[in-house]
Structure 1
Amino acid sequence: MSGQAVSRYSQIVAELRRRIETGELAPGDRVPSTREITKQWGVAMATATKVLTELRRDGMVRAVPGVGTVVETPSRSVRNARPTAAPRPGGSSDASSGQAALTLGRIVAAAVTVADAEGLAAVSMRRVAADLGVATMSLYRHVADKEDLLTRMMDTVIAERPLPADPPESWREAIELAARQLWDLFRRHPWLGPALSVTRPQMIISALPYSEWMLAVLQAHGLDLQPAFTAHLMLLNYARGIAVNLETEREAEANSGLDSEEWMDTQEPALLAILATGRFPALSRLATAGYDLDLDALFEFGLQRLLDGLASLLNESPAD
Structure 2
Amino acid sequence: MAESGSPSERIAAELRRRIAAGELAPGARVPSTRRITQEWGVAMATATKVLNRLREEGLVRAVPGVGTVVAGKAAPEEVRAREPRREPAREARPVAEPATAPAAARRVRAGGEGELTRERIVATAVRVADEEGLAALSMRRVATDLGVATMSLYRHVPGKDELLRLMTDVAFGEQPLPEPPAEDWREGLETVARLQWRIYRRHPWLASTMSFTRPVLAPDAAVHTERSMAALAGRGLSGEEMAQAAVALAAFVCGLAVHFEREAQAEQDSGLSAEEWMDRVEGEEHARLMADPERFPMFDAMNRGPEIDLGLEALFEFGMARMLDGVGLMIERRGQGAANS
Is the shorter-chain TM-score for this pair beyond 0.5, marking a shared fold?
yes
1:292/1:215 Cα in 2 relative to 1: closer, same or farther (>3 Å)? closer
Listed one character per residue, the Cα deviations across residues 185-243 of structure 1 (whole Å, up to 9, x for unaligned) are: 01110111110110100000111211111111111322211110000110010001101
Q: In structure 1, what is the Cα distance between the partners aligned to 2:289 and 2:237?
A: 49
1:298 aligned to 2:315?
A: yes
Asked if the contact 2:207/2:257 (under 8 Å) is kept, the reply is yes
Asked if 1:267 is matched to 2:279, the reply is: no
8 Å CA contact 1:108–1:153 kept in 2: the answer is yes
Q: Secondary structure in 2 aligned to 1:242?
A: helix
SS of residue in 2 equivalent to 1:262: helix
Does residue 218 (structure 1) correspond to residue 232 (structure 2)? The answer is: yes
Q: Which residue of 2 aligns with 1:283?
A: 299
1:190 aligned counterpart, secondary structure: coil
- What residue ranges of structure 1 are gaps of 5+ in the alignment? 1-5, 22-26, 34-51, 60-76, 78-83, 88-92
**Structure 2: distance between partners of 1:109 and 1:17:** 29
1:207 equivalent to 2:199? Answer: no
The question of whether the paired residues in 2 share the 8 Å contact of 1:99 and 1:138 is answered with no
The corresponding residue for 1:80 is: none
Residue 126 of structure 2 is aligned to residue 134 of structure 1: no
- Equivalent positions of 1:227-238 (< 5 A) are 227-238=241-252
Shift of 1:15: 7.5
Q: What corresponds to 1:162 in structure 2?
A: 176
Q: Confirm or deny: 8 A CA contact 2:236 2:331 kept in the other structure.
A: yes
In the alignment, the residues of structure 2 paired with residue 297 and residue 273 of structure 1 have an alpha-carbon distance, to the nearest angstrom, of: 26
Q: 1:122-154: per-residue Cα shift (whole Å, max 9, x none)?
A: 110000000010000000010010000000000
CA RMSD, Structure 1 to Structure 2 (Å) = 3.4
Question: Deviations for 1:267-304, whole angstroms, at most 9, x for unmatched residues?
Answer: 11112222333332432343344444321121011101
Superposed CA deviations along residues 155-214 of structure 1, whole A, max 9, x for unmatched, are 001001111232111110011001100111011101111101101000001112111111
Supply the distance in 1 between the matched residues of 2:156 and 2:251 (Cα, whole angstroms): 31
Aligned to 1:173: 187
Which of 57, 63, 79 lines up with 2:49 in the alignment?
57
Q: Which moved more, 1:233-242 or 1:265-274?
A: 265-274
Rounded to whole Å, the distance in 2 between the matches of 1:171 and 1:315 is 12
Whether the 8 Å contact between 2:104 and 2:148 is mirrored in structure 1 is: yes
Matched, 1:97 2:113: no
SS of the equivalent of 1:187 reads: helix
Counterpart secondary structure, 2:212? coil
The residue type paired with residue 286 of structure 1 is M
**Closer, same or farther: CA 282–107 of 1 in aligned 2, 3 Å:** same
Q: Whose radius of gyration is greater, 1 or 2?
A: 2
Distance 1:58 1:130 in 2: 26
CA distance in 1 between partners of 2:6 and 2:265 (Å): 31
Does 1:251 pair with 2:265?
yes
- In structure 2, how many angstroms separate the alpha carbons of the residues matched to 1:136 and 1:30? 35
Q: Distance in 2 between matches of 1:18 and 1:133?
A: 34
Structure 1 CA distance for aligned equivalents of residues 136 and 314 of structure 2: 29
Contact 1:155 1:205 in 2 (8 A): yes
Matches within 5 A, 1:2-151: 14=5, 57-58=49-50, 84=78, 95-99=104-108, 101-151=115-165
Q: Distance in 2 between matches of 1:170 and 1:150?
A: 34
Give 1:57 shift: 2.8
Paired residues of 1:179 and 1:239 also in contact (CA < 8 A)? yes
1:294 aligned partner, one-letter code: G
How many Å separate the matches in 1 of 2:230 and 2:158? 34
Alpha-carbon distance between aligned partners in 2 of 1:282 and 1:220, rounded to the nearest angstrom: 43
CA change 1:124–1:56 in 2 (3 A) is closer
Unmatched 5+ stretches in structure 2: 14-37, 52-67, 69-77, 82-101, 110-114, 335-341
User: How many angstroms apart in 1 are the aligned matches of 2:260 and 2:178?
Assistant: 27
Within 2, Cα distance between the matches of 1:18 and 1:149?
38
Q: Does the Cα contact within 8 Å between 2:169 and 2:219 map onto a contact in 1?
A: yes
* Kept in 1: contact 2:139–2:153 (CA 8 A): yes
